[in-house]
Structure 1
Amino acid sequence: MRQVILDTETTGIDPKQGHRIIEIGCVEMIGRKLTKRHFHVYINPDREVEAEAFRVHGISDEFLSDKPRFHEIAQEFFDFIKGAELIIHNAPFDIGFMDHEFARIGGYPKTAEVCGVFDSLVYARKKHPGQKNNLDILCRRYGIDNSHRELHGALLDAEILADVYLLMTGGQTSLGLANSSDSDSKEEGDVGEIRRVAAGRPALKVIKANENEMKVHEERLDLIDKKSGQSVWRIKH
């Protein structure tokens, strides 16, 4: 599966009020692995950036004054996302702006007609109900270092979202048990027959970590502590 993690920055919050996209950032992922292919562009919106939006992303009118207009980059952008599943945090916001921009120049279908859409915010709310699920919170929750993120930026946020998505949707979701084909017919919660270990079976051999392995293990725990506050392996019960 080809996936594109996407983020935009805009002049304001509502395209119906004439607000425009000023930055697009995308990173490509195939088979849950980043390919190093990306699409990134700043866009001259032909209007002022609202003060509140500027405080979020820090992109000024002066900076955008010599950048291309959307119609100049539209085809390249469309070609990059076409056929992919888009992973977007709060997808209606970005998709709404994208569809508005494509409609302004005409000749392009709506995004959902040529792309799948995975809203990572909706997924996070289902996975972590009743909790905040913005990108900064998710980074802390999953131990992702985003200390270099002082302001929002489309490409940086797309790269961070890629890490969040992989951790949030990865990991073990079910425990495979022996004789799983038999368990399909059992009622939920039925553990089936308990089989005892045969008497006289030799004890399993215990292999202890050597000094070098323990050192590597401690270094790994130090890294986890740095990112998450404290690793569960060092919590004394």
Structure 2
Amino acid sequence: MRQIVLDTETTGINPKLGNRIIEIGCVELVNRMLTGNNFHVYINPERDSEEGALNVHGLTTEFLSDKPKFAQIVDDLREYIQGAEVIIHNAPFDLGFLNHEFQLLGLPDFSTHIHGVIDTLVHAKELHPGKRNSLDALCDRYGISNAHRKLHGALLDSELLADVYLAMTRGQNSLGMDVEEEVAVAGEELAVVPLAQVIFQPASEEELAAHQETLAGLDKAVKGQCIWTALTTPPAPAA
């Protein structure tokens, strides 16, 4: 499976007010592995950034003045994202701007070039209801270092989001998939669903002896039976 983690920076928060994309950063995942095949470009929006947006990304009009316009990079972007599943944090924001840019050029929406969208903000809210689920908050929650993130940057944020997404979804495929089982799906033929393979390894005699020795020490410490011993000792037969 090919997935693209995507982020944009913009001149403001509303494309309908004439705001434009100034940076796109993409990170490629293939079968949940980072490939290093990234896409990153700065874009000349032909306008100034609003003060609030400039404080977020720090990309000045002067810095962007010699960068390509969106029309000059759109074909490369379309080729890069074609048919991929796209992962975005707060997807409506980025998709709104991308679709707007495509429409300005008379092109089909960005959304028509891809194979679906995963919104990590929606996923995070389902996993952590009532908690902060910004990218910074998720980095803290999953132990991902973002100390180098002083300002927002599309490529940096995509790299961080890729790590967050893999951490959030790790349980979905962290177990082996060597065993398959047929299950019935309503109205359809039997489907083959992979299940995790579980290997049972019994304890050795030495390990069992060490376990009993540990329990005996716990019993001695509490001057009776520890919880484990009390729960695992068969009840005495009734008189």
* Cα shift readout 1:92-112 (whole Å, capped 9, x = no counterpart): 000000000011011x22222
User: Aligned partners of 1:172 and 1:40: how far apart in 2?
Assistant: 29
- CA deviation vs aligned residue, 1:110-143 (integer Å, no higher than 9, x gap): 2222211100000000011111100000000000
Q: What residue is the counterpart of 1:140 in the other structure? A: 140
Mapped partners of 2:21, 2:77: distance in 1: 13
Q: Which amino acid aligns with 1:43?
A: I
Alpha-carbon distance in structure 2 between the residues aligned to 1:45 and 1:175: 46
Bigger CA drift: 91-100 or 112-121? 112-121
Taking a change above 3 Å as real, the CA distance of residues 16 and 29 of structure 1, as seen in their structure-2 partners, is same
* Greater Cα radius of gyration, structure 1 or 2: 2
Q: Deviations over 1:161-199 (max 9, x none)?
A: 0000000011268999xxx98xx9xxxxxxxxxxxxxxx
The range that moved more, 74-83 or 163-172, is 163-172
Query: What letter matches 1:132 in structure 2?
Result: R
Query: Are 1:158 and 2:154 an aligned pair?
Result: no
Matched, 1:30 2:8: no
Deviation at 1:38, TM superposition (A): 0.7
Give the 5 Å matches for 1:50-129. Answer: 50-106=50-106, 108-115=107-114, 116-129=116-129
- Indicate the residue corresponding to 1:232 in structure 2: none
- Partner SS, residue 37 of structure 1: coil
Give the RMSD, CA atoms, in angstroms. Answer: 2.4
CA distance in 1, matches of 2:174, 2:100: 41
Distance in 1, Cα, partners of 2:35 & 2:122: 25
Residue 86 (structure 1) shift: 0.4
State the 1:206 CA deviation.
3.0
| Greater relative contact order (Cα < 8 A, sep 6+) | 1
| Counterpart AA for 1:76 | D
Paired amino acid for 1:206: E
One-letter amino acid of the counterpart of residue 124, structure 1: A
Cα distance in 2 between the residues matched to 1:202 and 1:95: 54
Contact 2:99 2:111 in 1 (8 A): no
Partner of 1:49: 49
Shift of 1:2: 0.3
1:58-117 Cα shifts (integer Å, max 9, x gaps): 1101000111000000000111111000000000000000000011011x2222222111
- Aligned-partner SS, 1:23: strand
Name the amino acid aligned to 1:127: L
Distance 1:203 1:37 in 2: 48
TM-score w.r.t. the length of structure 2 is: 0.73
Residue identity in the other structure for 2:169: T
AA aligned opposite 1:110: D
Equivalent pairs, count: 185
SS at match of 1:152: coil
| Cα distance change, pair 202–33 in 1 and its aligned pair in 2 (3 A) | closer
Aligned-partner Cα distance in 2 for 1:118–1:128: 17
1:36/1:174 Cα in 2 relative to 1: closer, same or farther (>3 Å)? Answer: closer
2:78·2:113 contact (CA, 8 Å) conserved in 1? Answer: no
Once the two structures are TM-superposed, the CA of residue 203 in structure 1 deviates from its matched residue by 5.2
**Following TM superposition, where does structure 1 have runs of at least 4 consecutive aligned residues deviating by more than 4 angstroms?**
172-176, 201-204
Partner SS, residue 146 of structure 1: coil
Match of 1:206 in 2: 207
2:44 and 2:69 in contact (8 A); partners too: yes
